[in-house]
Amino acid sequence: MSQLARMSMSERSRRRGKHSSIGSWSGGSGGWIVKGLVIVVVVCAVAYVGVQLLRPVPSATAHTVRSAFTAAGGQPSLPWPAQGEAALAVQGTGLVGSSGGTTPVPIASIAKVMTALVVLSDHPLKPGQSGPQITVTPADVAQYQADVATHQSVAPVTAGEQLTELQALEALLIPSANNVAHLLATWDRGSLGAFVAAMNAKATALGLTHSHFVGPSGLSSGSVSTAEDLVRLGEAAMANPVFASVVAMPSVTLPGSGVLYNYNYELGHDGFIGIKTGSDGPAGGCFLFDDAVKQGASTVQIIGAVLGSQTPPIIQSALNDAVNLVNALRPHLGTQQLVAAGQQVAEVTTPWGAAAPVDTATSVSAEAWPGLHVPGTVSIGRLTSTLRRGQRVGTLTVTVDGTPHQVPLVMGAAVAGPTTSWKLTRL
């Protein structure tokens, strides 16, 4: 073979070797790239799983499903008067119902209930106490004579005579003496104007938003209120044991007056233990009353008001309307369950789909009537992602006539935490 041929073969071999070396080097680089990518993917996947599994789990949340409660049974049907206004309540439980609207109307001598409350607030008495002596002035005698001349209800007084605070209150509330209303007002605050201002301030403090007073006796038709406002006034008055003891008296014997009788002829009948009658042309016959109903070992008090009776005799008509109302309500009174233990009031839910009820742990009962409706407020504390059955999580507050009753709230079922698959797939 010629030298040229051998050189050509050698050159071709060299070139083939060169190409083979280049291909081997390229194949090795591609393998490392693939391996690197796999490592990156694995590291990212491990990091993702770690982050997802270690991320804080959101807490469960709750929403209220019930916040008002009603005693079983239908609301009792009551014989509301065909004229005027009326309202009826069970003391400590709330308003049973009312009729005739809420337009302020003249209340006649029922205004004396507010007069007595202001005096007892300024000069408190305890049961058995008579209080300070009040000396009758010539101005008081002149007021008495003017009231007699206009045929008002009065209690005789003489200049220099002394009455204890309790005796003056008895004259005010039992024979409904207008002249003693003025005597007490000037003794208590120094002037009628100052006393009337105190009456209206007391009305505001008691929440009597439809009541206004222009005098201590109720003689002026400018002293107005509503049946519902007067029920609240009656509840406040009967909470004072001295006031309650006075209005429960059918008669009283006072110095200079002799025996004076109560215009509340229902005292001692049908359970009536007070409070005050009133009557005149603009007001008609009015009666603010308290009726005591025995319920086993306890006594339930029905507070009511009847205003604007126009059928003669107007006071007796008001008394009759009150008797009809309390006799109709009395059979419906008793212990009523307002909230049952184990009653669901809320629901707990989670983002991963778990749900469980929140139930009452105890019950609430009250002396009431069927159909009584009471409001409630559900308060749930801070929740975690897992909850045990029976675990306390909040409080239900049920308000009965302004008095709150608290009920513990517990989980009605357990709430499990999220699954691993949910943790890995959540965004």
Catalytic annotation, residues: 109, 112, 176
Number of Cβ within a 10 Å radius of residue 194: 12
3-state SS assignment for residue 124? coil
What angle is formed at CA 332 by the lines to CA 267 and CA 97, rounded to 5 degrees? 75
CA-to-CA dists, residue 62 to 358, 393, 399, 411, angstroms: 9, 10, 22, 11
Q: For residues 167 and 33, give the distance between their C-alpha atoms in angstroms, rounded to a whole number.
A: 111
Q: For residues 27 and 49, give the distance between their C-alpha atoms in angstroms, rounded to a whole number.
A: 34
Q: For residues 236 and 229, give the distance between their C-alpha atoms in angstroms, rounded to a whole number.
A: 11
Number of Cβ within a 10 Å radius of residue 98: 20
Beta bridge pairs of residue 349 = 61, 355
Name 276's Cβ contacts closer than 8 Å, sequence gap at least 6. Answer: 109, 110, 112, 113, 173, 176, 247, 264, 287, 288
What is the DSSP pairing of strand 258-261 with strand 105-106? unpaired
Answer whether 288's CB lies under 8 Å from 276's CB. Answer: yes
3-state SS assignment for residue 241? helix
Helix ranges (H only) for 160-225 are 165-173, 178-189, 192-205
Could you tell me which of 301, 298, 177 has the C-alpha nearest to residue 231?
301
- At 191, the amino acid letter reads S
Q: How far is CA 333 from the centre of its chain?
A: 20
Could you tell me which of 226, 16, 188 has the C-alpha nearest to residue 100?
226
- At 370, the amino acid letter reads P
Q: What is the dihedral of CA 275, 281, 284, 288, to 10 degrees?
A: -10
